């Protein structure tokens, strides 16, 4: 007995052979009941399909950026009047500066450009500094031009960004209260705006950027949403295929309700309208702003091809996860209308009215 208990515990921890999450149970139960009434088979969801929503390797998403080319010694000697610029250069070349994470470097590069441009304004009236000013102007232009690449490196090199856009091992939970991700979606939206406005508008301060990255890391909703959309899309595909089958079309050969069609109506009311539709409403409520933020992020200039491809897989492409779900949502609703309508059991028809009265 003890050995059996140990084996069961190992199974639960390592292979996930415990009970499926409630959302997965609802979807599986829906397909089982639909298939039983229509005498149709379906394919179970294969969790390995989630692997298509794995971010490309980090090295494929990072952009190589040329180092600062101005001489550090000349800069420190010739810009003694520009203390903030001296401080930024010293910080970048310190031990900590050389291992600065990209998320910090994005704010730093904004501070550096601002310090260079302030120094240009300070030295512009000094005829003895014309050559230095010209070099600083060119440097400022170069550093501004690099900001989109720094922005994307800040995202792609961060664990927070990867955490937010990964797929979770479980779908969104089943609950009556609205599922929300205000902080995470808001943070992604703010980062999208920051990226879109570069290089004309410099990035914000380090504390502001850190708050956005922290919000991404503290949210599980995006990763659960990716799982839920993939699993629900599969469920709708399988269910629609059963509803569109010849067997479903022959439920009411005379155009009036039959005993089997009334059983099917019970599946519609109890399991589709009672369980699946409320869960899909949660997906839509959460997914709409999520899709908008992901799409806005993809519009930021300088996006690496590997990152652009991944965002297309999630939301921005015509065959993305989000768009396929929307198509299956519409197709499944239409399939139900067709089957119930052929049996006079669609809401508003005589069969629906008599069926609901009898209940």
Q: Rounded CA gap, 245 and 38, in Å?
A: 9
Helix (H) or strand (E) holding 76: helix 72-78
Q: 3-class DSSP state for residue 293?
A: helix
What does the longest C-alpha to C-alpha distance in the chain come to? 98
Q: Rounded CA gap, 228 and 42, in Å?
A: 19
First to last CA, the chain: 48
pLDDT string in tens for the chain (359-residue length): 444 433 444 344 334 456 889 999 999 999 999 999 999 999 999 999 999 999 999 999 999 998 776 555 566 657 678 888 888 888 887 777 677 888 899 999 999 999 999 999 988 888 888 888 888 899 999 999 999 999 999 999 999 999 999 999 999 999 999 999 999 999 999 999 999 999 999 999 999 999 999 999 999 999 999 999 999 999 999 999 999 999 998 998 888 889 999 999 999 999 999 999 999 999 999 999 999 999 999 999 999 999 999 999 999 999 999 999 999 999 999 999 999 999 988 776 665 555 555 55
Predicted TM-score (pTM) of this structure: 0.89
Q: Rounded CA gap, 210 and 190, in Å?
A: 12
């Amino acid at each position: 007995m003890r050995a059996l208990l140990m084996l069961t515990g190992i199974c639960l921890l390592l292979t996930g052979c415990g009970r499926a999450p409630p959302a997965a149970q609802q979807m599986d139960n829906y397909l089982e009941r639909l298939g039983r009434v229509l005498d149709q088979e379906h394919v179970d969801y294969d969790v390995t399909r989630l692997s298509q929503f794995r971010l490309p390797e980090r090295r494929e998403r990072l952009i190589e950026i040329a180092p600062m080319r101005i001489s550090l010694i000349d800069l420190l000697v010739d810009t003694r009047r520009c203390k903030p610029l001296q401080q930024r250069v010293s910080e970048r070349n310190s031990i900590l500066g050389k291992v600065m994470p990209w998320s910090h470097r994005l704010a730093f590069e904004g501070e550096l450009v601002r310090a260079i441009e302030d120094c240009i304004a300070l030295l512009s009236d000094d005829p003895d500094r014309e050559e230095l000013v010209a070099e600083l102007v060119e440097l400022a232009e170069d550093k501004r031009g690099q900001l989109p690449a720094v922005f994307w490196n800040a995202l792609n090199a961060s664990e927070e960004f990867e955490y937010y856009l990964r797929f979770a091992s479980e779908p969104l939970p089943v609950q009556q209260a609205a599922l929300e991700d205000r902080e995470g979606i808001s943070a992604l939206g703010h980062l999208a705006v920051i990226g879109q406005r570069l290089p004309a508008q410099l990035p914000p301060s380090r504390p502001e950027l850190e708050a956005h990255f922290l919000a991404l890391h503290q949210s599980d909703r995006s990763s659960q949403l990716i799982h839920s959309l993939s699993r629900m899309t599969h469920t709708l595909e399988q269910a629609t295929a059963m509803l569109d089958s010849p067997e479903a079309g022959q439920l009411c050969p005379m155009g009036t309700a039959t005993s089997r069609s009334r059983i099917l109506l019970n599946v519609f009311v109890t399991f589709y309208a009672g369980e699946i539709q409320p869960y899909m409403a949660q997906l839509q409520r959460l997914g709409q702003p999520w899709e908008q933020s992901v799409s806005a992020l993809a519009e930021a200039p300088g996006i690496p091809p590997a990152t652009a491809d991944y965002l297309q897989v999630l939301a921005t492409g015509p065959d993305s996860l989000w768009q396929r779900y929307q198509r299956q949502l519409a197709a499944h609703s239409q399939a139900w209308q067709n089957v119930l309508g052929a049996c006079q059991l669609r809401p508003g028809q005589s069969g629906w009215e008599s069926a609901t009265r009898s209940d």
